[in-house]
Structure 1
Amino acid sequence: MTDVNKEQVFAQVKDALVELFEIDAADIVPEAHLYQDLDLDSIDAVDLVVHLQNVTGKKIKPAEFSTVRTVEDVVDAVAELLKEA
């Protein structure tokens, strides 16, 4: 298994945020907080998890996403999942 490219994961997460929630791409930076900066709510977070599961083909446990606060946290969580392949 090759090393997971975090830039590619970030691009996928960014695309998902733009596509699903119509967030301005310029606002999506690694340190952006999902709830405060990007105005997501818990339902949006579930939608994001479902979308990422579909994109990655991996099952994401809600507990793995319970500590996610920033875009970078999402990227790290997805990258970890992909490493487990």
Structure 2
Amino acid sequence: MNRDEIIEKINGFLVDEFEVEPEVIEPEANLKETLDLDSLDYVDLVVEIESNFGFKVNPEDFVGINTFQDFYEYVIQKAEAV
């Protein structure tokens, strides 16, 4: 899976699971604010990542993730290591 395919897959499950409009998902947008994430939503997000990309997510990995671009880079890096 290449970079664009990973980003497309991420955006697809974000739209489906978090019921946001695709046009609000911009690389520079704040992930938490745009998706209106609470602690339970983070659990859902972790489950989606693990089931879609086949790697284990550590909660501390989210500390440095602020924007969608940060999130994409994290998933791409982890997915390439699998």
TM-score by length of 1: 0.83
Runs of 4+ in 1 over 6 A off after TM superposition: none
Kindly report the root-mean-square deviation, in angstroms, between the aligned alpha carbons of the 2 structures.
1.5
- Aligned equivalents of 1:13 and 1:28: distance in 2? 10
Aligned pairs (5 A) from 1:11-50:
11-50=8-47
TM-score by length of 2: 0.86
- Aligned equivalents of 2:32 and 2:47: distance in 1? 17
Letter of the structure 1 residue corresponding to residue 20 of structure 2: I
Q: Kindly, what percent of the aligned residue pairs are identical? A: 34
- Aligned equivalents of 1:10 and 1:42: distance in 2? 23
4-13 or 72-81, larger mean C-alpha shift: 4-13
Q: Which runs of 5+ in 1 are unaligned?
A: none
Look up the SS of the partner of 1:60 in the other structure: coil
Q: Which runs of 5+ in 2 are unaligned?
A: none
- Aligned equivalents of 2:31 and 2:10: distance in 1? 12
**2:74 aligned to 66, 72, 77, which one?**
77
Asked whether the 8 Å contact 2:18–2:35 carries over to 1, the reply is no
Kindly indicate whether structure 1 or structure 2 has the higher relative contact order, using CA contacts under 8 Å at least 6 residues apart: 1
Q: Render the CA deviation track for 1:40-80: whole Å, top value 9, x for unaligned.
A: 22322221111010001111111112211111111111111
